[in-house]
Amino acid sequence: MTPHRGRALAGALAALLVLAPVGVAAAQPDDSPDARPAVPAPARSAGGDTADTVAETVAEVSPEAPAPAGGPVTDRIIVKFAEGAEPGAQAREQVYDAAAERAADRPGGRGPGLPGTAAAVPDLQELRPTVDSARVVTAGQVLDAGRLDALVAELEEDPAVEYAEPDHLVRIASVPDDPYFPTAQWSLHRTAAGLGLPDVWGSATGRGQTIAVVDTGITRHPDLDANVLPGYDFVSLHGGVVQSGHSRDGDGWDPDPRDEGDYGGAGECASGGTAVRSSWHGTHTAGIAAARANNRTGVAGVAYDAKILPVRAIGACGEGYLSDIAVATAWAVGADVPPTARNRNPATVVNLSLGFVSSVCPAVLQDAVDSATARGAVVVAAAGNRNHDAVQESPANCRGVISVASSTASGSRAPYSNWGRVTLAAPGGDGPAQILSTANNGVTTPGTGGYANKFGTSMASPAVAGVVALVRETDPSLTPAQVRNLLVATARPLPGGCPGGCGAGLVNPQEAVSRVAVQGGYPTKGAIGALYERIRVATGAPRSPEVCGLPQGGCFQHFARGAIYWSPATGAQWVHGAVQGAWNRGGDVRGPLGYPRTGEQDNGAGGVHQLFRHGRIVWSPATGAAALYGAIGARHASTGGERGVLGHPLGDERAGSTGVAHQSFQHGRILWSAATGAHSLHGAIGRAHAGLGGESGRLGLPVSQEYAVGDSVVQRFQGGAIAYRAGGTSVSYR
């Protein structure tokens, strides 16, 4: 059994942005967090502190350095209680207190407080809700990896908790370097390593599209201001001593996305560390995506007629909390984020030039990405700058994102860029040839508008976000999955090569826009074409060429209202709507379900289902679409499926930290472990089991289904049994 989601690793590293002095001769990593220059006194310009005067400047910075392993990680945890089982405020406090006490008794769970803290057992307090009803809980002190891991594990043991995970500090992903900078925007030119945008702008410039830049915020700039929409500030940390992720604006969430500077004073970003300058990272990435063109000022963005939605989620030291980034992403696409007003300009593209090390995409971040894609927004993320497989980096490893590696002016993968499980590559530059974009002349706080050269996957990601805007201007009906597959199908090989693999290759905006502009002129053929001819009223016109090379020799083709997938084992099958969304969420043909083997069918319970090679997806108006597969899927079928005692699934299968997987249904749950197999719980016995602590209580997991004994119904558990008779239940323990 392959559960959808497990507990995120607690030990993800929160690295700091590192600044290097002018005159560094080569772009070499500097892994010493203390090897940073002190911040000089801010220069004062005669023009005053406004963005009306533009001066070209160059930012010189060196690659990021990860935080030492085993050191302080975060002071916050994200907790989501199970739907339908969420206790009241007082009961939640008891859950937090009990978990903290149990965690303190684990090896490594109780230790000396960090400097400035005295409590060995943290006092967990709720701060606010975040995405999908999850809650941000503060420990009141920064916890090291051992204590954090113990606390998260104990929270997940509680039967009322659906998941708990660290609220990581996430950092911006640029790799700025020494003062070698180009005099032109080589990345946009008609060269082997460039994007060839002059050949595209006659057809598309991004008009009608909105690119959300979830980053450090934005500063006023004459090359940006005309394109900037009202944004929001979601940096929540604003009280107490300034530390990583602090807002520096004196308050929490507010409708002012101005970048206050992500600088850090001496000792603020790392204990004993020197001060670091502000990067103006959000202003730089915004300019790459959508700086104005044809205005006789500065640079041109990839989609220069698109609108920019600045959403601030990164604060001091170039870091921000995972929960703030997730909320910022959800708000950007129009989701409700109480108590803020709904965004009146929902983004069609979201750029995330940030990241942190994590072998799985955290649940709260995946929920935010799912919210975005469900609303039709395309999420683009930097692959990261650690020269390792991007599968180890979030949000690059989240389902549904377009993850972007970085290429150089020679057309090869940049040596710092992550590789492996990425979608494609785009120009991100390196030391000799960086990416020129909008910036700010302030050293710490905002000064006048300027221009700076930087390099990194942070620069590659907004270039692809701009290409997405060009494509969606050409055909706004394209779904996020269709956009992703179109960019994959039209990418070209990196002329300089990509050790480790760069997905489909170098993004090719000219070919992508040209194919979309055909507007239904793509041919169909073979088995996919035959099915299309039979059901073309349902599918609409072809929106992509047929693309092959999928696992097991499969092919697919996108249409206006879905897609047809084919494999030798399953033939051609049509997937669309909410069922397709649930399938994509699980990894489409690469996920646990594999290829579709039927179309949608009435399930006889007020909904539909579609069969796949290794399971099925079920949908109803009341519950939406969810996947069923493996042992849990088989058990659900044995109880009568959707027409049986459990009804429709309320969500996908989930996994906890102890090897137990579970799935919730309208009228009960199914629990699975390798030791016990899969068994359902419902009705009076299910309620009694939950009241006794569920699988974390003395009874443990079910080891049988309900069965009749005389005039009673009995279900056996690891630690005993529950019997039901004539309206009452009784419990016996082993």
pLDDT score recorded for residue 553: 93
Burial environment of residue 725 by CB neighbours within 10 A (0 to 12, 13 to 18, 19 or more): middle
Q: What sign has the CA pseudo-torsion 331, 332, 335, 336?
A: positive
The CATH number for 16-44+54-67+171-508, chosen from 3.30.420.590, 3.40.50.11440, 3.40.50.200, 3.40.50.300, is 3.40.50.200
pLDDT score recorded for residue 373: 95
Catalytic residue among 236, 279, 358, 458: 458
Domain residues of the chain, as ranges?
16-44+54-67+171-508, 72-168, 518-575, 591-669, 675-734
Torsional class of 418: left (φ above 0), alpha (ψ -120 to 50), beta (otherwise): beta
The backbone torsions φ and ψ at residue 131, rounded to the nearest 5 degrees and listed phi first, read -65, 140
* CB atoms inside a 10 Å sphere around CB 239: 10
Q: What is the dihedral of CA 459, 461, 463, 465, to 10 degrees?
A: -150
pLDDT score recorded for residue 475: 86
d(CA 502, CA 405): 6
pLDDT score recorded for residue 518: 58
pLDDT score recorded for residue 109: 53
Catalytic residue among 144, 149, 178, 215: 215
Q: Are 139 and 77 in contact (CB under 8 A)?
A: yes
pLDDT score recorded for residue 69: 36
**Element (DSSP H or E) covering residue 461:** helix 457-474
Global confidence as pTM: 0.61
In the block, tokens 């701060």 appear at 127
What's the gap between Cα 630 and its chain centre? 26
pLDDT score recorded for residue 172: 61
Q: Are 516 and 474 in contact (CB under 8 A)?
A: yes
Low-confidence ranges of the chain (pLDDT < 50): 1-71, 112-119, 174-182, 519-520
* CB atoms inside a 10 Å sphere around CB 733: 10
Task: Output the six-digit token pair for 227.
Answer: 């394109």
CA-wise closest residue to 288 among 484, 182, 435, 174 = 435
Rg for the chain, CA atoms, rounded: 26
Q: Are 718 and 732 in contact (CB under 8 A)?
A: no
pLDDT score recorded for residue 271: 81
Residues forming beta bridges with residue 730, ordered by sequence position: 723
Range 72-168: architecture per CATH: 2-Layer Sandwich (3.30)
Strand order in the sheet with 449-454: 54-56, 449-454, 435-440
458 is catalytic: yes
pLDDT score recorded for residue 505: 95
Beta-strand pair 728-733/720-725: antiparallel
CA-wise closest residue to 146 among 69, 66, 33 = 69
Q: Are 78 and 322 in contact (CB under 8 A)?
A: yes
Q: What is the pLDDT of residues 239-289, one digit of tens each?
A: 888 889 999 998 999 999 999 999 999 988 888 888 999 999 999 999 999
388 is catalytic: no
pLDDT score recorded for residue 240: 85
Query: Is the bond leading into 339 cis (omega within 30 degrees of zero)?
Result: yes
Beta-strand pair 210-215/307-312: parallel
Share of the chain above pLDDT 90, in %: 58
636 is catalytic: no
Catalytic residue among 4, 281, 662, 689: 281
